[in-house]
């Protein structure tokens, strides 16, 4: 995964608060966005010890606490399971944010717009 390409794409199009769904142990994109001045909020289904520049919440995207996502310009997820795509997109739409999902492998979306940027590929849903 080309983290720099994803960070550059987000930094050129969004500002303020962004939320990463299912951060797991891959902090590079979130840390890079925080260094660029974004308020980065991350969620996961279990407790993750994230770097201090990232605000963390335990949350189940299939039954989300919408308050975590409110005010975000973008809700994004890196390599989530395919079955979570509709839940992530629904949360983004509920709070009026765009959505970006970087697939794990060769999964594809029938309703997101495929973007190829800087050698990286991901899907985007606009508000």
2-27 pLDDT, tens digit each: 899 999 999 999 999 999 999 999 99
- Torsion angle of C-alpha atoms 98, 46, 27, 99, degrees rounded to 10: -10
Output the pLDDT for position 111. 87
pTM: 0.96
Q: Is residue 109 scored above 90 in pLDDT?
A: no
Question: Alpha helix locations (H) across the chain?
Answer: 3-13, 28-35, 85-94
| Between 118 and 111, residue with greater pLDDT | 118
Q: Is residue 1 scored above 80 in pLDDT?
A: no
- Per-chain mean pLDDT for the chain: 95
Residues in the chain: 127
The CATH number given to whatever domain includes residue 110 is: 3.40.50.150
Q: Which domain holds residue 27?
A: 3-125
84-104 pLDDT, tens digit each: 999 999 999 999 999 999 998
Torsion region of 13: left, alpha or beta (phi above 0 gives left; psi -120 to 50 gives alpha): alpha
Contacts of residue 86, defined as CB under 8 A and 6 or more positions apart, other chains included, come to none
Output the pLDDT for position 24. 94
Coil vs helix vs strand at 43: strand
Domain count within the chain: 1
Mean pLDDT to the nearest integer, 74-87 = 96
């Amino acid at each position: 995964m080309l983290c720099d390409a994803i960070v550059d794409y987000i930094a050129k199009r969004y500002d303020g608060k962004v939320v990463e769904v299912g951060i797991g142990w891959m902090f590079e994109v979130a840390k890079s966005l925080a260094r660029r001045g974004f308020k980065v909020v991350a969620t996961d289904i279990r407790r993750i010890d994230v770097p201090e520049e990232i605000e963390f919440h335990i949350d189940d995207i299939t039954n989300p606490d919408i308050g975590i996502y409110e005010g975000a310009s973008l809700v994004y997820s890196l390599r989530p399971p395919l079955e979570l795509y509709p839940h992530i997109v629904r949360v983004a739409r509920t709070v009026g944010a765009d959505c970006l999902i970087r697939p794990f492998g060769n999964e594809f979306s029938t309703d997101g717009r495929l973007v190829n940027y800087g050698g990286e590929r991901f899907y985007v849903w606009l508000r």
